[in-house]
């Protein structure tokens, strides 16, 4: 196949696509063009090899970074220049600046750093009650894991990898192009420093296969929207025995029917009758801690007033103490009155002097002043 076909175009992905999107697209295309499903079709076989090559590059963070910057040239011994040794100060400077980007490795020669597996993301929804108390649960993820047949080496059992003759086991090559020295990962061993002549039949030399894993997750009390939990080493397995990446669990807190949350503070709206607002009273609010919290309502409270219960809010994540519970009072005007109730209210209105509601009295006094000034 021509190596000039854009890998992102082959996988039908945007260049900004995340690892999960790239993996999902590869699986769909690999299933579509797999030789077992298209027996004898050379075009399908060619496309299968093409998408496999593209995915092999883009699933590896280091290879993808190199490809995004240099394109296909990142994996070619380009320029027609011969491999060079001992480039002096300029080569040392180039290595110190770009060595980590091109795969690391020991200074002055030596195999490039192990290709660590990619980190993965898992989204989990929890209720507000679970965010308050915490919980232990299990999740199931599809992830690449070390191949059991070859113990992650990538080589057929009974054989082993050999030193790459192209780079001498260094995992990287240098080529001089005019006055410039270019160093890149070895195109033969892809920076591993070794090649596998007889690959494992189960993992095809990758040292990893797709598996479904069940993992235990401990959600601590006090988590909030966007809290991340890291499971070290539970991401994608590294190629040929390299370290695995991590799995990041992003938490999303579902809406609660009563409470809203802001940090460790819980908010709730409580409608009260106008008689309770005028005469005072109390409310009993069931908290997430399983207790009923008595809220005293002072006489004459106005709609929108907030009452605070200290320590009745959310627990502090990985700390001590709790936030507060804030109750906002909404005074409800009655809409269904009996004849007797109307009579009592009429009698009350006849006794009003205006001092009962100073805010209303002050407002109408301002209006009179405005019109009098005109």
**Length of the chain, please?**
374
Ligand-binding annotation for 147, yes or no, is yes
Q: What is the 3-state secondary structure (H, E, C) of 296-313?
A: EECCCCCCCCEEEECCCC
Q: How far is CA 228 from CA 125, 277, 348, in A?
A: 12, 43, 59
Ligand-binding annotation for 167, yes or no, is yes
Q: What is the 3-state secondary structure (H, E, C) of 212-275?
A: EEEEEEEECCCCCCCCEEEECCCCCCCHHHCCCCCEEEEEEECCCCCCEEECCEEEEEEEEEHH
Ligand-binding annotation for 357, yes or no, is no
The DSSP 8-state label assigned to residue 289 in this structure reads T
Four-CA torsion 217, 220, 223, 226, nearest 10 degrees: -30
Ligand-binding annotation for 189, yes or no, is yes
H/E element, 110: none
Integer Cα distance of 132 and 152 in angstroms: 41
The CA radius of gyration of the chain, in Å to the nearest whole number, is 34
- Residues 229-264 as b/e (b if ≥16 CB within 10 A, e otherwise) read bebeebbbbbbbbbebbbbbbebebeebeebebeeb
Ligand-binding annotation for 164, yes or no, is yes
Tell me if residue 283 falls in helix, strand or coil: strand
Integer Cα distance of 136 and 225 in angstroms: 18
Task: Locate 332 and state its tokens.
Answer: 């409800």
Q: Which residues are annotated as a binding site for Zn(2+)?
A: 147, 150, 164, 167, 186, 189, 200, 203
Q: Which residues are annotated as a binding site?
A: 147, 150, 164, 167, 186, 189, 200, 203
């Amino acid at each position: 196949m021509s190596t000039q076909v854009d890998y992102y175009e082959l996988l039908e992905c945007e260049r900004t696509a995340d690892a999960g999107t790239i993996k999902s697209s590869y699986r769909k295309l690999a299933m579509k063009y797999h030789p077992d499903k298209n027996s004898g079709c050379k075009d399908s076989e060619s496309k299968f090899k093409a998408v496999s090559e593209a995915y092999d590059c883009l699933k590896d963070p280091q290879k993808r970074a190199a490809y995004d910057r240099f394109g296909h040239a990142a994996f070619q011994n380009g320029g027609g220049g011969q491999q060079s040794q001992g480039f002096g100060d300029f080569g040392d400077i180039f290595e110190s600046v770009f060595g980590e980007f091109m795969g690391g490795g020991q200074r002055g020669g030596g195999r490039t750093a192990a290709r660590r597996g990619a980190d993965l993301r898992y989204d989990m929804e929890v209720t507000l009650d679970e965010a308050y108390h915490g919980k232990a649960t299990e999740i199931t993820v599809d992830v690449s894991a070390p191949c059991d047949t070859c113990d992650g080496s990538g080589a057929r059992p009974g054989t082993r990898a050999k030193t790459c003759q192209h780079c001498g086991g260094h995992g990287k090559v240098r080529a001089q192009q005019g006055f410039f020295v270019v160093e890149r990962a070895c195109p033969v061993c892809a920076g591993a420093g070794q090649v596998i002549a007889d690959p494992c039949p189960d993992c095809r030399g990758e040292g990893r296969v797709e598996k479904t894993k069940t993992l235990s997750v401990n959600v601590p009390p006090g988590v909030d929207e966007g809290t991340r939990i890291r499971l070290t080493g539970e991401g994608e397995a590294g190629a040929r025995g390299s370290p695995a990446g991590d799995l990041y669990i992003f938490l999303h807190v579902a809406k609660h029917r009563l409470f809203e949350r802001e940090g460790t503070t819980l908010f709730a709206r409580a409608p009260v009758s106008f008689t309770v607002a005028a005469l005072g009273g109390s409310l009993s609010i069931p908290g997430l801690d399983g207790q009923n919290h008595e809220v005293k309502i002072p006489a004459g409270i106005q709609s929108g007033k907030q009452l605070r219960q200290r320590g009745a809010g959310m627990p502090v994540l990985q700390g001590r103490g709790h936030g507060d519970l804030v109750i906002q009072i909404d005074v409800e005007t009655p809409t269904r009155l009996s004849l007797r109730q109307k009579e009592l209210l009429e009698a009350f209105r006849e006794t009003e002097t205006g001092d009962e509601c100073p805010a209303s009295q002050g407002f109408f006094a301002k209006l009179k002043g405005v019109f009098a000034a005109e």
